Amino acid sequence: MRVIIVGAGEVGFQIASRLSLENKDVVVVDKSSEALRRVSDNIDVQVLQGPGSSPVVLEEAGIKNAEILLAVTDSDEINLVACLIANIISPSTKKMARLRNADYDRYHDTFRTYAPHIDTLINPEIEVVKTIERLMNVPGAVDIGEFTDGRVKFIGIHLDKGAKLDGLKLSEIPAKINKQSPLIAAVVRDDELIIPRGTDQLMAGDLIYCICEEAKVLDTLSVFDKRSEPLHRVLIIGGGRIGLRLASLLEKKSIYTKIIEKNADRCTEIAQQLNKAIVLHGDGSDQRLLNEENIRDMDVVITLTNEEETNILSSLLAKRMGARKTITKITKFSYLPLMSTIGIEQVVSPRLSAINTILQHIRRGKVLSAIAIRGEQAEFMETVALETSDIVGKPLRQISFPKGVIVTSIVRKDDIIIPSGDSVIQPEDRIIIFARRTAIPKIEKILTVKFEYF
């Protein structure tokens, strides 16, 4: 599979890094020699300097033989033109573009259907607002994803010291809680991913990933001593595009919302677009201002400025001053592993949201969604079982899955099945798979055709 990535920024870099580890043929195109040098110094992929919207450059990159073009520069206009040119030169190439400007929202269907005929449009700001909404609705979760239209969820939960599961082996959990244990797919401990067995012990500080049905989310949270609390009052720090999108959503839900924005002109703009939210001119890291706005009465504080350090400082300050919960926007990938260490648990990343959306369209087989978990050492994948696949028609225990792969759920029409070794996958079942990153190339082959080499 040849993939051409237009844009060597953080999203382009991270996607190229992922795909190179999966032995895909990747070409990264960018005008910046410095950005390309970073790519070539760290990743085993081809690089090509030049504008990604140029037909000459795209032909040199091999667009006629490429299965996928990813246009992920910071310019929506360049991304659109790159897809238009690619469509003229190579109509069979699947085209994906990152578009962030809300002005384009109403035209997404037009872009997919007509010129420049983009197969997939990715707006990371829309996706990150969805993630924030899910985090607000699931108390205690620090990571969350949805499959099968929300009917199945994975939830990442930090195990607190003194919680009833602290120190227990997985095999001991049912007796402790007097019911069936939730399916624990993975544990992250000291940045190391563990796929646990019954003899493995849970420890305080572990980040535990569970799979559960939507109707059983609160029951699952209670197993980890997390409780549901009503959400009435929200403070948003940062009135940029994401902040405005989120405030508009909260208004529709009749949730009391305040926004702090330090640019006076922007305050006027967003106040004109909102009906109920209170817009305040000021610095979200100003302790005096937070105190005046009764920060201690806020159910959740969400920091969404374009300044990484401001988001981190404001979240830490809000927690210290009594806010019940904080959600912090982080853009730099290098910061993500540090967040839990300094006490920030709920983090969202527009770039990571974009990457997850892109991954589902790159994976082979009929993959409906793919979500990387924290540390990006593994993915949850939702896929449709094809009749030609060798995973169909026999018990799971007889299938030679690669090491580091678990089938966590089978969805068959209205039934959600937590599988055992005797479970049999049928054609057109939706299956949710957890896979280490190193096992993804092999699982892709399993999902597409019959095989005889494991």
pLDDT digits (tens, 9 = 90+) for 155-186: 999 999 999 999 999 999 999 988 888 899 99
State pTM to two decimals. 0.82
For the chain, the 3-state helix, strand and coil shares in percent, each to the nearest 5, are 40, 25, 35
Q: If you average pLDDT over residues 194-223, what whole number do you get?
A: 90
Helix (H) or strand (E) holding 328: strand 326-329
pLDDT tens, position by position, 43-66: 999 999 999 999 999 999 999 999
Q: Of 109-123, 194-208, 224-238, give the lowest mean pLDDT range.
A: 109-123
Q: Is residue 338 very low, low, confident or very high in pLDDT (cuts 50, 70, 90)?
A: confident
Q: Which residues is 187 bridged to in the sheet?
A: 194, 208
Q: At the topology level of CATH, where does 144-223 sit?
A: Alpha-Beta Plaits (3.30.70)
CATH architecture type of domain 2-122 = 3-Layer(aba) Sandwich (3.40)
Say what the pLDDT of residue 140 is. 80
Q: Is residue 268 very low, low, confident or very high in pLDDT (cuts 50, 70, 90)?
A: very high
Domain boundaries in the chain?
Answer: 2-122, 144-223, 233-348, 353-448
Say what the pLDDT of residue 321 is. 94
Q: Is residue 364 very low, low, confident or very high in pLDDT (cuts 50, 70, 90)?
A: low
SS3 145: strand
Q: If you average pLDDT over residues 372-391, what whole number do you get?
A: 82
Q: If you average pLDDT over residues 7-21, what whole number do you get?
A: 90
Rounded CA-CA distance 71/330 in Å is 22
Helices (H), 50-171: 55-61, 76-89, 108-113, 124-137
Say what the pLDDT of residue 431 is. 93
As a whole number of Å, the end-to-end CA separation of the chain is 22
Q: Is residue 452 very low, low, confident or very high in pLDDT (cuts 50, 70, 90)?
A: very low
User: Do the first three CATH levels of 2-122 and 353-448 match, i.e. the same topology?
Assistant: no
Highest mean pLDDT pick, 89-103, 258-272, 345-359: 258-272
Q: If you average pLDDT over residues 70-96, what whole number do you get?
A: 94
SS3 381: strand
DSSP 240-299: SHHHHHHHHHHHHTT-EEEEEES-HHHHHHHHHH-SS-EEEES-TT-HHHHHHTTGGG-S
Q: At the topology level of CATH, where does 233-348 sit?
A: Rossmann fold (3.40.50)
CATH 3.30.70.1450 fits 353-448, yes or no: yes
CB 259 within 8 A of CB 279: yes
Q: Is residue 376 very low, low, confident or very high in pLDDT (cuts 50, 70, 90)?
A: low
Rounded CA-CA distance 17/39 in Å is 8
Rounded CA-CA distance 415/116 in Å is 40
Contacts of 201 (CB under 8 A, 6+ apart): 167, 168, 169
Contacts of 94 (CB under 8 A, 6+ apart): 67, 68, 69, 119, 120, 361
